[in-house]
Amino acid sequence: MRRTALLVSAALLTGLLPFAAAGPASGADEPAPVPVDNFEGEIPFANPPAEGIFTWGSDTDDPPTLELAARDDAPQGDKVLAGTYEISGYGGFTHDFAFAEPAHDWSASKGIRFWWDGRNNGKKVNFELKDGGANGEASELWTTSFTDDFTGWKHLEIPFTDFTYRTDYQPVGGIDQVLGLTEMWGYALTLPVGVQDRFAMDGVELYGRADQALRANVVTDAAVHPVKEGRSAAVKVTVATTGSAPIEEPVTVAYETAGGTGESGKDYTPVKGEVTFPAGTASGTSRTVTVATLRDRAGENAETVPLKLTVTGAKAPAENPQVVIDAHGLPYLDAKLPVQKRVADLLSRLSLAEKAGQMTQAERGALTAPGDIAAYDLGSLLSGGGSTPTPNTPEAWAKMIDGFQLRAQATRFQIPLIYGVDAVHGHNNLVGATILPHNIGIGATRDPQVAYDAGKVTAAEVRATGIPWDFAPCLCVARDERWGRTYEAFGEDPALVESMETVIQGLQGAASGKDLKRDDKVLATAKHFVGDGGTEFGSSTTGSYTIDQGVTKVTRQQLEAVHLAPYQDAVDRGVGTFMPSYSSLDILGDSEGPVKMHANAAMLNGVLKGRMGFDGFVISDWQAIDQIPGDYASDVRTSINAGLDMIMVPYAYKDFHATLLDEVRAGRVSEKRIDDAVSRILTQKFKLGLFEKPYADTSGASKIGSAEHRAVARKAAAESQVLLKNAGGVLPLKKSQKVYVAGSNADDIGNQSGGWTITWQGSSGDITDGTTILEGMKKAGSAVTYSKDASAPTGGHDVGVVVVGETPYAEGIGDVGNGHDLALSAADRAAVDTVCGAMKCAVLVVSGRPQLIGDQLGDIDALVASWLPGTEGDGVADVLYGKRAFTGQLPVTWPKSEAQLPINVGDASYDPQFPYGWGLTTLTKVPEGGKATLKGLAVAAALAERAGSEEAGRVIVGKARLLVQQKVGQDITAAVAKPFADADHLLLTGKYARAVEKLTAAYAAA
């Protein structure tokens, strides 16, 4: 899924106050201006926590370019801040002040001004201040805008009183909603969307003297106050000032209950009055307005009672608060009734617009106003990859989601939101969470219990932050290592993928769904249905992608055997949701050509919901319906009629809602189809217990990133390590050895965790809590020397360990041919040559897919496929030093060259570097006896197969595999590789006797 963080969005910030043009020069009584940025080089281009200017955007192409450009016409000094931009989503730049320094105090100034080089493009530019909080990324956001409708340099001024509190997005809902000005952390500009242009800016400074009369604000404690019928709601009204100074003039707040759906005198006792805050009142002083509701004993939907506030002497709140009398006495609210009856009752009460809302999912940062949750009856919100609250803590996640759920309480039937995230290897958006190996590493363990435990830890940490829904697991079958999502797959063999689907029970609990109400379980998502791992190289039409989101060309038999097989098991395991693939499916011989999966009614309605009997709901991928041929109305009706139940329209929720209503009213989408979709969605919400407990249950938050959970991740990382070569028994290392460690991935928590870690694409460096491989080795061994580039002297060491591989990427961004290949970097190759040329060496490849290493293989004594082990580098150290044995096996074929791709188990022509299933062990001595032993194992395998004993079958085939690997050594020919790989597939399908037969053939060929 394509996921991006939302910092600010130009398209969302409308109706804001314009800048005033500069007035005359400051008078003699005006204080001197205070420089903020002169752009002469005093402020570097650097990310926080260092002070600096940095860019951001919704995609890799959206951040603008920046430079300090020398210009003869610079209004101040010799240089200006200049750049170019062409933004499709959102983008801009920020100047954050250093976190290590005290915040700036701007409270003595009237406002901020700067020079802008107008382009007269008629576009709006948004200007934002960062106020209060711990730092620039954990502060309140206050915004205004100006229109670039002039040419050449213009001095623009804005008084601080023109800034408005951002209601569309705040870090954790804001701090106090008061522009304090005493703790300022910087500013940001959001540049226009949909135009290719350049900009220039100069001389940012504070000007004037603060106007005390305009610095008071009135705020309320919440916008929505739910209350049970017959009880009273207390609305807290607070006066506050910028700079936190006492108010200089009286502030009055007149209030009265007016409008809404509640009936005065029947549902509530009307109130009307006034509160006064006298001059000298301290900032932060509050008064309470009480609204009493009345009982009438009749079952009713929720009713709203707006409290109109009229403020004199200060700014009024951004919106009037409303009391909501909870829905009560209706059958769907009765938790004792069967879910099916509750769904039927609620569905019968909903309007078409409310049903359409339930089918709509928006990105949380794209809400133009929090009230849109109720206004559009939204059924779901999500956080895309990196779309996090600030600060990115468990408490902040829970608070943010509770704030969204509170808004849903202002709807007629108070249907809770279902909030979703991509937690694909732990709660990977959350700093400090337990990050497990990516799926390809889990597949390498060949251990269904590891997959189950990974799901269990993920679910517990996700639910403890208030999130009930996980867009995982990916059940793709990766057939081409050039795919940027290879690491999201458990492997290339559908039988291996099926064996790892225990992860679904780890996430959800029992197949019946009875455990979903627990505080440590989440709704799972089987994705991406179907064939995303089989797309043809060069078939993608998405941007610069080469294979992701392309076309899967298969016969019907291949489709059933390879790509569809894992999904029936997911249905049988009770998975709650399915997500279609971006890719297209071209079934050879049916004459239909490629069909986008989001439009494929035959597969979604016919196969998934029909033949397979899936009774959960289908959620689209990120903006995926936009890829369906045709206009937007066609995209909407085609996807819904094809079987999609909820549409992920991160930015277009208003358009989608309106369009779906139009399509139903025009008869192009039936109400029966709508009712089916909404019934499926409501069923899962009831199963999750959201109607009874919509808010976060944080009782399990103490386990997030706990030693207990990290131990699970550590074990998974250890079992995922695949020992491909071990000449001379270099591994395991001995604690007494002096070890020389080098390579780009030895000491990098970001690289070893990969994509989908904290942000969508992931990033290198110290991005979250955990232990790097180097740190794990230092704890496990007594003498470790580290030199990243192997430039330190190599003499005096017993053995070298070089940790190389990839840097993070996600989805098509990581496709080979899209700025990536399967070769090691020049720096990594040099480190391998240096270390392995000086001593015995082990090379660890930290990557999301095999790397081409054949030309250096002869110089390498031991080779380990480490995959992407996550945050627990101790697990890698455990096998390096023999605390745990190497037991992992290749989940995908390791090719000799890119020309061989795609190459997979079962191919007629099969001559890889290492075959599927290969993996040496340090666990046990290899059985002796050669052919005679294999013959005995064949008899035992046949008995285990007849008895249906999976455990015995695995042990028997495992012994035969070790015997073959010992004889083969590194002389892996095609005659050996093909039956060896086939044997591992047969083992996973329960055909133990045939597996030993294949291994016997490999032995004979060695």
Active site (catalytic) residues: 621, 811
Q: Which strand ranges, in their side-by-side order, compose the sheet holding 551-554?
A: 551-554, 584-587, 595-596
What is the SS3 assignment for 44-97? CCCCCCCCEEEEEECCCCCCCCCEEEECCCCCCCCEEEEEEEECCCCEEEEEEC
The residue written with tokens 């290879």 in the block is 486
Q: Which strand ranges, in their side-by-side order, compose the sheet holding 91-96?
A: 52-57, 91-96, 184-190, 123-131, 140-148, 164-165
- Count how many Cα atoms sit within 13 Å of the Cα of residue 599 in the half-sphere of its side chain: 21
Q: State both tokens at 320.
A: 């009037």
| Cα end-to-end span (Å), the chain | 44
**How far is the C-alpha of 345 from the C-alpha of 331, rounded, in Å?**
6
Classify each residue of 903-941 as buried b or exposed e, where b means 16 or more C-beta atoms within 10 Å of its C-beta: bbbeeeebbbbbbbbbbbbeeeeeeeeeeebbebbbebb
Q: State both tokens at 720.
A: 């995922």
- DSSP 8-state symbol, 563: I
DSSP characters for 792-852?
Answer: S--TT-SEEEEEEEPPP--GGGG-BTTTB-SBPPHHHHHHHHHHHHHSEEEEEEESSS--B
- DSSP 8-state symbol, 872: B
- Looking at the DSSP assignment, which residues form a beta bridge with residue 310? 254
Inter-helix orientation angle 930-947/992-1005, to 10°: 160
Whether the CA torsion 430, 432, 434, 439 is positive or negative: it is positive
The torsion region of residue 696 among left (phi > 0), alpha (psi -120 to 50) and beta comes to beta
Q: How many residues does the chain have?
A: 1006
Contacts 24+ apart (CB under 8 A), 269-274: 269/293, 269/294, 271/307
Cβ neighbours around 198 below 10 Å, total = 12
Burial zone of 630 (CB within 10 Å; 0-12 exposed, 13-18 middle, 19+ buried): exposed
Strands 418-421 and 469-470: parallel
Q: State both tokens at 155.
A: 């001095």
| Residues 279 and 249 sit within 8 Å (Cβ to Cβ) | yes
Classify each residue of 382-391 as buried b or exposed e, where b means 16 or more C-beta atoms within 10 Å of its C-beta: bbbbbbbbbb
Inter-helix orientation angle 632-642/671-687, to 10°: 60
Cβ neighbours for 206, distance < 8 A, ≥ 6 positions apart:
33, 34, 36, 106, 109, 111, 112, 113
**How far is the C-alpha of 797 from the C-alpha of 811, rounded, in Å?**
40
**How far is the C-alpha of 863 from the C-alpha of 924, rounded, in Å?**
19
| Residues 698 and 460 sit within 8 Å (Cβ to Cβ) | no
Q: State both tokens at 207.
A: 């000007």
Q: State both tokens at 102.
A: 């005290």
Cβ neighbours around 394 below 10 Å, total = 23
